[in-house]
Structure 1
Amino acid sequence: MDIMDYRRRSQLPRKLFLAAGITALCFILFRQTGFNSTSQYFSRKEPGITHVLVTGGAGYIGSHAALRLLKDSYRVTIVDNLSRGNLGAVKVLQQLFPEPGRLQFIYADLGAAKAVNKIFAENAFDAVMHFAAVAYVGESTAEPLRYYHNITSNTLGIVKAMEAHDVSTLIYSSTCATYGEPEKMPITEDTPQDPINPYGKAKKMAEDIILDFSKTTDMAIMILRYFNVIGSDPEGRLGEAPRPELRDQGRISGACFDAARGIIPGLKVRGVDYKTPDGTCVRDYIDVNDLIDAHVKALARARPNNVGIYNVGTGKGSSVKQFVEACKKATGVSIKVDFLGRRPGDYAEVYSDPSKINRELNWRAQYTNLEESLSIAWRWQKAHRNGYSS
């Protein structure tokens, strides 16, 4: 669905959405009441326990990060405004880790400075994993100001709150989109950053804020620039469930699955005249489980007065046509494909050189088979035809 068409719809769906939002908020507040009895755990530091704030922890990547952190015995606070995230993912995590002092969920918008300051004042965080962000290239070209506010301004707010409340470690979720369309492949951390769309530009601005601030502080900082994320939890507990109105903006894996399930009539491949072997874009597809493993290793290796910048990818590129063929095999469905013109803001070829993160963090991608990663994600999709609501 085109986002501009969505905006032109009647006010009735918006009223229904508002009513649903109020109901959801009441439910959230009710759930938070249950956390009040355990707030003592989150408001104080305890020897041997690392308390991590996961912004955007109800989203696709953030929820997988929260799951891994909880499995590894971290204490976790999720902050999310649910504009892109799913309350259902938080409920799954609550059910898996119901013990007092393990998981806390706070409904809040990072754009509200007073709310952010209150969260930091009332909780004893040791580290922040900052995932919260709008993250669609096409949408960023249509709504650039939204992206600069949501990504750049909100990151500034997080860093200011960390400084004010002496939170010493930041793991920042960045993107290969900051590199734009480099002349040479593969991309190293020294490749010049020249983003070509508002999403990449907003992320680079946020990086610049963090890097400039790092010169005045002893904070431990890790910036992870990752590539195209696919896959889901191998045990089937979490998956990707974007808002219906954003399906047309989302990841290619989501579009492939929607086509395989008959939600949409077919898959739209945008751009077949790029200077690549088969004319379609080439991307480095990183499994979400590998991505989160990189974040956890970055957290463990973060040191005061140090900034680490790492690409997180497999080191090989696959074309969109190759991706679609892998998706067909993973789903067992002959997906109809329509080839269309280019999408604004896209680039022809991007894949990583992960040698630095291999060497310094002892991290290597384990899920490097496209069909295998897509098969795992497909199982979750089939079991959750209506997302987390099912």
Structure 2
Amino acid sequence: MDFVETKRRSNVSRKLLLAAGITALFLFMLTKSPSTTASIKFSRHEPGVTHVLVTGGAGYIGSHAVLRLLKDSYRVTIVDNLSRGNMGAVKILQQLYPEPGRLQFIYADLGDASAVNRIFSQNAFDAVIHFAAVAYVGESTAEPLRYYHNITSNTLIIVKAMAAHGVKKLIYSSTCATYGEPEKMPITEDTPQVPINPYGKAKKMSEDIIFDLSKTSSDMAVMILRYFNVIGSDPEGRLGEAPRPELREQGRISGACFDAARGIIPGLKVRGTDYKTPDGTCVRDYIDVTDLIDAHVKALAHAKPGKVGIYNVGTGKGSSVKEFVEACKKATGVNIKVDYLSRRPGDYAEVYSDPSKIRSELNWTARYTNLEESLSIAWRWQKAHINGYNN
């Protein structure tokens, strides 16, 4: 009996040793796998590498920002719930930069405070660029509570997570809609903020939250960029604008022009022809997305602890909607049908920027200032992606 028992114990010991060996080998292989190596890189600060959290990085503007950051050797984490963003854009970015530790995508809703806190706990962020937001003026007047929740409440969750986890650099994507309808043009950073629609109001509330946080944190570095009407796309044709079909009515005028040129919609609807402008249509400052992203990268590089920088990002000149439509016709080569309708609630007559402050302090100047050229670049992407990123 003693011999049998001893033999049984010996077999059990060998099995335990074998199991332990297999487990150790598995763990060793796991730690050497690319995915684990990458996750370790994202979870640790690394000298010489800046890890940027880009909220809304699957969206039109956010994806272009991620592309530029990756090109400039930043480490990037995208957080997006894909309600307005596009996974197709993320896949293209992943294909362009497949190396471990360069880019990761996290599917999450910024309204979920526990999820946001977990993301900050598991990643070593050096900075946050906060793009994520619903962003249509007309929609905001129809669904104001949605806008206050998505923009203001979600921004509060983000900055609380930053404060809790010691992330001290924030670049905030704001808007000229916070100014409302100023009495004189051009708009400077000192122009009073009197927003007239829920979108602008929600963004201004978010700015106020960020201001107040910065007052309690002497080493917080903040840049707030108030930008104007965004157009264009990546000059190399890798990314573009592909809003969901149900949002076409709410989207940017450039998207509507392209849809009309492609025959997706029968024509273009221009809302408002009785404004106090030279031709009766709204006047806007159209900023190319490539220039806009360049401003964000410069803001990230110039952000200083204890400082809040506020900058208008625009070309400094206004173009009317009628002028925009004519440029779009030339860019697409299509004689787009135009229907002129009554004003859209929440719109304002004339808005264009004075970009002298960002030019003098960040050495930034818009380069893509020709409407037809910017629209031509975007049109090439549209023609090559008939179904958006689903091609």
Q: TM-score, normalised by structure 2?
A: 0.91
For the residues of structure 2 that align with 1:363 and 1:181, how far apart are their CA atoms?
26
Which position in structure 2 is the counterpart of 1:3? none
Q: Give unmatched runs, 5+ long, in structure 1.
A: 1-32
Gaps of at least 5 residues in structure 2 are 1-32
Residue 132 of structure 1: aligned partner: 132
State which drifts further: 37-46 or 175-184: 37-46
Q: CA deviation at 1:168?
A: 1.1
Aligned to 2:6: none
Whether 1:192 aligns to 2:174 is no
SS in 2 for 1:273: coil
Does residue 318 of the first structure (1) align with residue 319 of the second (2)?
yes
**Equivalent residues in 2 for 1:264-303, closer than 5 Å:** 264-303=265-304
> How far, CA to CA, are the matches of 1:100 and 1:62 in structure 2?
21
Cα deviation, residue 212, structure 1: 1.0
In 2: Cα distance, 1:157 partner to 1:339 partner: 42
| Deviation for aligned residue 1:73 | 0.2
Alignment of 1:72-83 (within 5 A): 72-83=72-83
Per the alignment, in what secondary structure is the counterpart of residue 303 of structure 1? Answer: coil
Deviation at 1:135, TM superposition (A): 0.1
Query: Within 2, Cα distance between the matches of 1:201 and 1:261?
Result: 35
Residue 117 (structure 2) aligns with: 117
| Match status 1:148 vs 2:133 | no
Distance in 1, matches of 2:291 and 2:255, equals 19
In the TM superposition, what is the alpha-carbon distance from 1:153 to its structure 2 partner? 0.3
> 1:293-338 CA distances to partner (integer Å, 9 max, x unpaired)?
0000000000100000000000000000000000000000000000
Letter in 2 for 1:143: E
Per the alignment, in what secondary structure is the counterpart of residue 133 of structure 1? Answer: coil
String of CA shifts for 1:31-73, please: whole Å, max 9, x gaps. xx98444100100000000000000000000000000000000
CA separation in 2, counterparts of 1:237 and 1:34? 26
- Residue 384 of structure 2 corresponds to which residue in structure 1? 383
Task: Extract structure 1 runs of 4+ deviating beyond 2 A.
Answer: 33-37
Counterpart in 1 of 2:232? 231
The number of equivalent residue pairs is: 358
Aligned residue runs from structure 1 range 210-225, under 5 A? 210-217=210-217, 218-225=219-226
The 5 A counterparts of 1:61-100 are 61-100=61-100
| Alignment partners' CA distance in 1, 2:263 and 2:378 | 17
Alpha-carbon distance in structure 1 between the residues aligned to 2:94 and 2:317? 37
Q: Is the 8 A contact 2:314 2:353 kept in 1?
A: yes
TM-score w.r.t. length of structure 1: 0.91
Gap change, CA 1:273 and 1:389, over 3 Å in 2: same
In the alignment, the residues of structure 2 paired with residue 158 and residue 61 of structure 1 have an alpha-carbon distance, to the nearest angstrom, of 19
- Per mean C-alpha deviation after superposition, the further-off stretch among 81-90 and 34-43 is 34-43
Q: Secondary structure at the match of 1:264?
A: coil
Q: Which has the larger radius of gyration?
A: 2
Q: Deviations over 1:130-187 (max 9, x none)?
A: 0000000000000000000000000000000000000010000000000000000000
Instruction: Tell me the SS of whatever aligns to 2:249.
Output: helix
Deviation track 1:364-383 (CA, whole Å, cap 9, x = no partner) reads: 00000000000000000000
Structure 1 residue aligned with 2:173: 173
Q: Contact between 2:151 and 2:203, CA under 8 Å: does it hold in 1? A: yes
Aligned to 1:351: 352
- Alignment of 1:341 onto 2:330: no
Q: Percent identity?
A: 86
Contact preservation (8 Å) 1:75, 1:103? yes
Q: How many Å separate the matches in 1 of 2:226 and 2:201? A: 13
Distance of 1:122 and 1:171 partners within structure 2: 21
CA contact (8 A) 1:35 1:104 kept: no
